[in-house]
Structure formats: C-alpha cells, structure tokens
Amino acid sequence: MGPISRLSARQTDPYQARRERLEKKAAEKEDGSVKETKNTPMRRARDEYVPGDDRTLETDKTPEKSKGSDKALKQAEGKKPQMCKASTDKVDREIEKLKKRKKELEGQLRTEQDETRRQSLESELAQVERELSQKDNDAYRRQHTVFTKM
C-alpha cells in the first residue's frame, strides 16, 4: 500500500533550492560560459525638493504678507534685543540642603540603636533620596530657572 498523501516523512531543507542555484552560478562562473550581467535592482524614484519662490499650486501666485506683520517686523528691527539673566541659585540651594540633610540622616542612622527610630530614619532617608534624585538634574534646573531683565 502506498502513502495516503504526497507528503513524505523525511525532513526537507528549506534552503536546498537556494544552495543549488548558488552552486550552479559558481560552476558557470568557473567555466566562463556565462557573462556577468548587472542584476542590480532598480532604484526607487524619490521626490526631490526644488527650491523656488512660495507659489501656491491653485493660483500660481505668490502669497501676500499681511500688513500687520510688516509693521511688527519694522518695529522689532528698531528695538534693541532684551537682555535677561538666568539664575539657578534657588535650585542649587535646595539641592545643597537636601544633600546636607541626607548626610545628617546617614550619620544618625549609623549611631542609632533603637529599632523603631532606625526604621523611621531609613524611611525619611529614602524620601530625601527620592526628592534629591528628582531635583538634581538639568531638566529640573531648566524648569525652575529664574530670569531677570537687565
């Protein structure tokens, strides 16, 4: 009796056909019977930016600027730029205070004998460390910078 389906029980190699093609090409190259052809894939066409004046597609006219923006532009040209001074002193003081508090708590924690007091110091130290990690970074400094006009 023959097999019910056309499938065989032996394992098949999914890369068998590819290996055979590569071996065939290698053999043809060694023989020199086949000329090498350039089989590079065709490059995709891409949009290209062409600089030019601002024209709308519908009317092919340059858009008109509003008169109000011209006045504001002329006024801005006549004025001197404003000078500001940025200060992060307040944030730096906060961070230094937190670091100092952290050192104090660590010192108290080393010398403390009472277990309940020790646990409260550890929880307070953890809170100070969380606050310090939140505030001791550039993003916090930038957000809390004080600007003053000169």
How many CA atoms does the CB half-sphere of 101 hold within 13 Å? Answer: 17
pLDDT tens sequence across 59-95? 555 556 555 566 666 666 777 777 889 999 999 999 9
pTM above 0.75, yes or no: no
Rounded Cα distance between 116 and 121, Å, is 9
Interatomic CA distance for residues 105 and 102, integer angstroms: 5
Would you say 125 and 108 are in contact if contact means Cβ atoms under 8 Å apart?
A: no
Per-residue model confidence (pLDDT) at position 69: 63
Over residues 90-118, mean pLDDT: 94
Nearest residue to 137 (alpha-carbon basis) of 97, 102, 88: 88
Segment 140-148 shows an average pLDDT of 92
The whole-number pLDDT of residue 76 equals 66
Q: What is the dihedral of CA 101, 106, 107, 111, to 10 degrees?
A: 140
Q: What pLDDT does 49 receive? A: 76
**pLDDT band at residue 97, thresholds of 50, 70 and 90?**
very high
